[in-house]
Amino acid sequence: MLSLLLALLTGSAASVPLFERQATAYPDGSKAGPAPKPEWLRSLNASKLAGQIPAIPPSTVSNGNIVYPSGVDLQSICSWTLTGCFGPHDIQEAPDGMYGVSFDDGPLADSPLLYDFLKNNNQTATHFFVGNAVRDNPQIASQAFANGQHIGVHTYTHPYMTTLSDAQVLGELGWTMQIIHDLSGGYVPRFWRPPYGDADNRVRAIAENVFGLTLVGWNQDSDDWCLNDSGGSSCGSEGPSNLAALESEISRWINSSSSPGIIGLEHELSAQAINAFINTYPKLDSQRWDAR
């Protein structure tokens, strides 16, 4: 339920044992899968003993494709990348009539343009933050916290999560939660979005059982990451070739059926992507979407 998602997204400021020991330094993000804190490893060990974590081997990336060792049953592992599978607790659409506004990959240099616009319009959105970007841009992160924006986890270094060991998965999620906790005054995210959507039942189970994180996907993808700030497109025919094409795609969602509701995938990577949201925003209201 998106309403539940929205109610819980900012979590509670109560202390959470896995994060209450504030960090004095954060991983530098140069390597995927930073070493986890011992308390996260202890919690993972307990989850494994309780039979909560399926023993699925990590995948590898081969010629740009996710590949599992032979013998792995691709249906039973619920790989979103390979079979489009969602787990029973995953959220990928909104209730009828509701429009979930979400942005990935921040906080970045262009993000204040978005945060100022949202604030001026009394609008909240869900920002799936990259831990290493929070480390690089703490003042920009603070602007989002101060505006009451909803913050989720988009991992620390933006890897294909199914390629990582269990301990590396812990480090990616845990350090992102830790830095958000420490810089926001004690808020702990309740939701995460895997980079590229790449998740399987092992990665899902670690996120859910160790960190209480529910996976959030999307049902409309803007491919707005294609546009760069020089006004060009970096992904050929895969996505929009310019700002007008991106606005037309977002307008198409806004014009489409209100059932199911929409969770749109957008990014705060470039001023162009943010401007496409800003320019189409009035249509959300005119088409009577309940945007949150």
Ligand X SMILES: *[C@@H]1O[C@H](CO)[C@@H](O)[C@H](O)[C@H]1NC(C)=O
How many other CB atoms are found less than 10 A from the CB of residue 15?
12
Q: Which of 108, 90, 50, 129 is nearest to 213 (CA)?
A: 90
**Active-site residue (options: 154, 158, 181, 267):** 267
* Contacts with ligand X, residue ranges (CB under 6 A): 38, 41-42, 45, 121-122, 228, 230, 232-234, 248, 251-252, 255
Contact between 137 and 3 under an 8 Å Cβ cutoff? The reply is no
Residues of the chain by 3-state class (helix, strand, coil), percent to 5 = 40, 15, 45
Q: Is 100 in the site for Zn ion (CB under 5 A)?
A: no
Q: Is 247 in the site for Zn ion (CB under 5 A)?
A: no
Amino acid in position 166? D
Contact between 153 and 189 under an 8 Å Cβ cutoff? The reply is yes
Q: How far is the CB of 280 from ligand X (least distance, A)?
A: 9
> Given the complex with ligand X, which of 21 and 42 has the nearer CB atom?
42
104 is annotated as an active-site residue: yes
Q: How far is the CB of 144 from ligand X (least distance, A)?
A: 18
> Given the complex with Zn ion, which of 195 and 240 has the nearer CB atom?
195
Task: List CB contacts of 10: < 8 A, sequence separation 6 or more.
Answer: 148, 150, 151, 187
> Given the complex with Zn ion, which of 195 and 217 has the nearer CB atom?
195
Residue 143 interface partner, choices Zn ion, ligand X, none, CB cut-off 5-8 Å depending on type: none
267 is annotated as an active-site residue: yes
Q: How far is the CB of 54 from ligand X (least distance, A)?
A: 16
Alpha-carbon Rg for the chain, nearest whole angstrom, is: 18
Site for Zn ion in 178-197 (CB under 5 A): 195
Catalytic (active-site) positions: 104, 267
